[in-house]
Chains A and B, each alone.
Chain A
Amino acid sequence: MMGALRTVVQISRVELLRFLRERSNVFFVFVLPLALVVFIGLQFGGGMGTQLGAVAADDDAAASELVDRLDTAEGIEVVPIDDEDELRSLVSRGNLSGGVLIPDGYEDALRSGATFEIGFLGRPDATAQSLRTVVDAVVADQAAITGAASLAADATDQSVADLIDLAAQVREGMPGVTVSTEAVGGDELAQEFSALGQFDLGASSQLFLFVFLTSLASSAALIQTRQFGVATRMLSTPTRLPVILAGLAGGRFVVALFQALYIIVVTALGFGVDWGDPLATSVLVLLFCLVSTGAAMVLGSVFRNDSQASGAGVGLGLVLAVLGGSMIPLELFPAGMLVVARFTPHAWANTAMAEIVRRDGGIADVVMELTVLAGFAVVLLGVATFLLRRALTR
């Protein structure tokens, strides 16, 4: 029994070793995931790259103040723009992440307490959504202080400017009151993501994408093991077929786990990514690695040619990642696509991860997702065992 276990480990070890010796794999495993985490972090997480265009009248003090406030908001750089048309075109072309339009008369409106509309321009993407929340919050904040000061000025005959300072001071000393605007398409969403650190979203969505992709890529090594005749040769040794199958599966599993740990550890240490409850995340990741292993084993048994398998693996890995919300968050999916997403392990894993990371969920909160993933793993590993056994003993 111990001997069999040791042999399983040996077969797995050699498969891992061979996987890591392939240069292109090293790039995919070590470099690409981190590059994408950083890229998405900068794009999506509202990092230094997020530019907000602003069109405002120069002689309007309140408008200038709003622009300053937006500029000091973390991760946003405000770019002054001359007119609405230019702003519109810059935003639509993606040169700016979003834009605010502050019509003339903003200061007067604030003081008089009249209703006033500030325009927000954004593409239908999540970056714009999260920018919008920030704008809403800053506007509401300014409006509250100025509005309160104006009212007080009317009542007390003091100058509005003095009162604004006073109000701001008063507010400093008060418990943080969050100002939220009425949800108009996507605001809840922005709220959800605004709780995340800059790189959190990139890291958790890339995790499953890459674990699955890397695992599928390792199916090429399995096919080589068959092609090279080594798998058959193993069968001529006293080592039994189940031990060999377990070893080959173990090889895939170790590759998947290795990829997962690498992304988790490096992003946690290097980018301060929060991975939530350790137990829940561990179970989730382990199950997802098993699912990936099963998929890789099926691929490695079905194909006869390693480059075909790599191609199919990358294709399948990317398609499932897109459908399962690893590229675009599931929250942005239309209802029909959500139904499709349910057939991918990625969607279940991403949903569970969102619960764990964004809402501080524990293992009890993601039982259903974990069960479904376990089901995926059992079915895929079962099918793979059947196919591989047949391929090796034919």
Chain B
Amino acid sequence: MSDLLTCVGLERSFGDLKAVQGVSFSVAVGETYGLLGPNGAGKTTCISMIAGLLDPDAGEVTVAGQAMGPRASAAKNDVGLVPQELAIYPDLSARENLDFFARLYGLDTARRKRRVDEVLEVIGLTDRAGDRAGTYSGGMKRRLNIGIGMLHEPKLLILDEPTVGVDPQSRNAILESVETLATDGMGVLYTTHYMEEAERLCDRIGIIDQGTLVAEGTRRELVGMIGEQDVVRLKTVGDVQAAEAACAVVEGVSSTDVEEDTVVCLVDEAAPRLPALLAAVGATDADVSGVEVREPDIEDVFLHLTGKALRD
């Protein structure tokens, strides 16, 4: 049995809102799995159930062969959670925060001391270990937030959008440390709404929208789902909404979306369709000021599957 994590038919509602409806997937030992979805897709809700913070309304979570739930201490021991919102004491130092959680994870004294030092090194906070976390920069706090999750060397590390609100440099450092952990054999479940992160880190990606997993696979498999299609991006001047509406009805166009002043069209083949697209926009109040044709990526897959953009 090589599955580290299996989720079967997870469901969870908040009042009338079905936040998660029937999500099933699994993560193999040592695999990095990405949950990619827009705001409110249900990623955090899934993760809360997987980490045993929330009881699912239906479905089951198994971690390393053990059933997970709010009272499943043994299963929790195999999971390290890095919550989306910072969960650190700002009035304690990095070392004190790490030491505190190491105790909650039940590490014995010797291992605790060793791990705190090691983690400080990994997250690059050794120099500032004695300063209160409240005085750290946003990126440093994020790194501490992540460090706490890896203290007890869990089999599965869950990171919920760990790079939100982080400068590019810290972001890169975070991605690198996740890559290192994965190379060392730790299973990683990574949620994000940044396609680039999912593509860079993850062996497999699950696309989640409105509480359901709409597609799953490697990057190659996912892009393959939209077959031989091309992406045509028309930069426009004028009424971009009207331009989109005009493009949507052109033959061979399977879906359209607007990104700022650009109309994004998914078409069966770019070359023969371009004149019709340009003519369609020309017939509206808008003018085309630039054209770009490229191979589709995961963001386009999302557009194709859900009819909307991954990011608002």
A positions within 8 Å CB-CB of B: 3, 6-7, 10-11, 14, 17-18, 21-22, 225, 228-230, 232-241, 393
Contact = CB atoms under 8 A, between A and B. Distances in A.
B70 A235 contact: yes
Contact of A238 (B83, B86, B105, B148): B105
Interface stretch (B5-13, B73-81, B248-256): B73-81
B91 A22 contact: yes
A389 to B, nearest CB: 11
Contacts of A17: 92, 96
Contacts of B89: 14, 18, 225, 228, 230
Nearest to B70: A393
Nearest to B86: A229
Contact of A236 (B81, B96, B103, B106): B81
14 contacts: A14-B96, A17-B92, A17-B96, A18-B89, A18-B92, A229-B85, A229-B86, A229-B87, A233-B87, A236-B53, A239-B106, A240-B71, A240-B73, A393-B70
B187 interface: no
A235 B100 contact: no
B1 interface: no
Interface in B63-119: 70-71, 73-74, 76-77, 79, 81, 83, 85-92, 96, 100-101, 103-106
A278 to B, nearest CB: 35
A237 B105 contact: yes
Interface residues of B, number: 29
Interface string B38-54: 00000000000001111
Contact of B52 (A18, A230, A236): A236
Contacts of A14: 89, 92, 96, 100
Q: Which of B54, B79, B86, B87 has the most CB of A within 10 A?
A: B87
A232 B91 contact: no
A237 B92 contact: no
B56 to A, nearest CB: 13
Contacts of B71: 240-241
Interface string B215-231: 00000000000000000
A228 B86 contact: yes
Contact of A237 (B74, B96, B104): B104
Contacts of B85: 229
A237 B91 CA distance: 21
Nearest to A244: B104
Given A232-B53, A236-B79, A237-B76, A3 B90 contact: no
Nearest to A233: B87
B148 A228 contact: no
A10 B104 contact: yes
Nearest to A241: B70
B93 to A, nearest CB: 11
Contacts of B91: 18, 21-22
Contact of B76 (A10, A11, A21, A236): A236
B69 to A, nearest CB: 11
Contacts of B53: 232, 235-236, 393
Contacts of B51: 236
Nearest to B158: A236
Given A18-B92, A238-B73, A241-B70, A232 B104 contact: no
Contacts of A228: 86-90
Interface in B160-205: none
Contacts of A22: 91
A118 to B, nearest CB: 62
Nearest to A394: B54
Q: Which 9 pairs, one residue from A and one from B, show the smallest C-beta to C-beta distance?
A: A229-B87, A233-B87, A238-B73, A237-B104, A236-B81, A239-B104, A238-B76, A238-B77, A10-B103
B101 A237 contact: yes
The listed residue with most B CB atoms (<10 A of its CB), out of A3, A7, A235, is A235
Contacts of A238: 73-74, 76-77, 104-106
Contacts of B100: 10, 14
A386 B87 CA distance: 23
Nearest to B75: A238
A233 B70 contact: no
A223 B87 CA distance: 13
B190 to A, nearest CB: 16
Contact of A3 (B79, B88, B106): B106
Nearest to B97: A230
Contacts of A230: 87-89
Contacts of A3: 106
Question: Residue among A18, A225, A236, A393 with the most chain B CB within 10 A?
Answer: A236
Nearest to A234: B104
Contacts of B90: 228
